[in-house]
Amino acid sequence: MRLSVGKDQANIEKIKDFASWLLDIGEGNLGGPNDGVTIIDIPDDILINDPDDHIGSLIEFVYPSILEKYSNTNYFQERAILAPKNEVVQEIYDHLLRKFPGDEVEYLSSDSICDSEFVHDQFDANLYSPDVLNGLKVSGLPNHKLVLNIGVPVMLLRNIDQKNGLCNGTRLHVISLGKCVIEARIITGTNIGNRTFIPRMSLTPLGKKIHSNSQKDSFL
């Protein structure tokens, strides 16, 4: 027990030191007096040293021995990769997905025009072809194509059932993949360990430029 407590305390101190280091960078306290440009020494243990496969190196650092541990929910509960843009998230996910055994399952959204608020004689449906709708990438909505595999970690983009912990940002671990439903286990929040089922559902984007122009039947 003493060894466990000592190890946990050491991890806490390490996290605090790293957080302080990040704050010092953001506040400009590192590198000495400067006018906004300076040189900062980055610790070797957080550097990506493989210029040819930087994403692979990042995944290996965050998810070591993933093939042996991907079925363990706790393994993903303790790990995550943050990215600044959705394009980077997709690139990392595609790279990570290729590491999982088994067949991938592809889900496609069913996009259509929601014309209830249009005057039909002023509405040109040709402006919103399926190719245009399928190419939309809107914050809070999944892309047209979603590729999953059993064992992958995923994150909800909308509040579905807040009482049961299914909120925007909730992370889940995929257990099984059906034709119209995804079974997963919650790995963050107050409902960790609970199993849930995510069905296909109709979603309407809220952006002013495309509000009421399209609706998407897909998974979150």
CA angle 160, 165, 167 (to 5 degrees): 45
Closest CA to 175 of 92, 79, 70, 96: 70
More confident: 152 or 8: 152
Structure tokens at 66: 């993933």
More confident: 136 or 56: 56
**Cα(101)–Cα(99) distance, integer angstroms:** 7
CA torsion through residues 183, 192, 99, 84, sign = positive
Predicted pLDDT of residue 2: 45
pLDDT digits 0-9 by tens, 115-140: 555 545 555 666 667 777 777 777 66
**Cα(111)–Cα(217) distance, integer angstroms:** 6
In the chain, where the domains are located: 1-47, 49-218
Q: What is the mean pLDDT of residues 81-99?
A: 88
pTM, to two decimals: 0.71
Widest CA span in the chain: 76
* Count of other CB atoms within 10 angstroms of residue 112: 14
Q: What is the mean pLDDT of residues 167-195?
A: 91
More confident: 157 or 177: 177
When mean pLDDT is compared across 130-134, 196-200, 207-211, the lowest value belongs to 207-211
Question: Three-state SS for 152?
Answer: coil
More confident: 152 or 133: 152
Predicted pLDDT of residue 13: 86
| Residue 212 clears pLDDT 70, i.e. is over it | no
* Count of other CB atoms within 10 angstroms of residue 89: 14
